[in-house]
């Protein structure tokens, strides 16, 4: 969403960091004193409840900004960010990123647009999920994954994001057993094929219709 001059200027700030799969890039409750811009790889944002239950809030990939909600006032992080595969990111201090936005209004407007879209998507998901069973919620998330991370395959759309059943369970507010049953049902209906950390959607129209 940035112009080429803005991208070049932003790319000169901060430094590069690498993270292994499973490593936390950001910790829930820590000060929001830095911002990360993903260059390679994907991450998940999670919230851990007092009882230890992990809720998956979203997935992010190359080009996404992390820590954009807490950097302005250095407020504590509201979530964890965990690498689901090897990740490379550009790390900037909060003050560095703030200064960039102040002298680059077009970038600040782009960030506002991104944040607005995320809130709208989150609200739509809450509305849909309120009236859906587990199968419907899993179907809805698969449609979202196809739209954001889908790659054409010989027999359908391959989701390139390396997800686990635990990730889907945390993202749909379901148990792992319920997610496994939903995936089994869709396999039997011929809608999807699954392998370790890989899902191919064979009949996207059917999955979209079940998602409502």
How do residues 119-170 score in pLDDT, each as one tens digit? 787 776 666 666 678 999 999 999 999 998 899 988 899 998 888 999 999 9
User: How many CA atoms lie less than 13 Å away from 66 in the CB half-sphere?
Assistant: 31
User: Which CATH class, in words, describes the domain spanning 132-211?
Assistant: mainly alpha
pTM attached to this predicted model = 0.81
* Element containing residue 81 per DSSP (H, E): strand 80-83
Residue 192 has pLDDT above 90, yes or no: yes
For the domain spanning 4-128, the CATH number is 2.60.120.10
Spell out the domain ranges in the chain.
Answer: 4-128, 132-211
């Amino acid at each position: 969403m940035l112009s080429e001059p803005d991208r070049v200027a932003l790319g000169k700030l901060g430094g590069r960091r690498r993270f292994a799969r499973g490593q936390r890039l950001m910790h829930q409750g820590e000060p929001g004193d830095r911002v990360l811009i993903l260059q390679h790889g994907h991450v998940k944002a999670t919230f851990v409840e007092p009882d230890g239950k992990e809720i998956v809030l979203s997935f992010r990939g190359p080009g996404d900004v992390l820590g954009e909600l807490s950097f302005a006032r250095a407020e504590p992080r509201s979530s964890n960010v965990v690498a689901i595969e090897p990740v490379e990111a550009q790390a900037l201090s909060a003050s560095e990123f703030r200064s960039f936005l102040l002298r680059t209004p077009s970038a600040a407007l782009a960030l506002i647009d991104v944040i607005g879209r995320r809130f709208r998507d989150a609200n739509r998901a809450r509305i849909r999920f309120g009236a859906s069973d587990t199968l419907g919620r899993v179907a809805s998330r698969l449609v979202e994954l196809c739209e954001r991370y889908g790659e054409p395959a010989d027999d359908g759309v391959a989701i390139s994001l390396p997800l686990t059943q635990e990730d889907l369970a945390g993202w749909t507010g379901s148990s792992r057993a319920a997610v496994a049953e939903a995936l089994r049902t869709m396999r039997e209906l011929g809608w999807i094929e699954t392998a370790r950390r890989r899902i191919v959607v064979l009949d996207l129209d059917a999955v979209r219709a079940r998602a409502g």
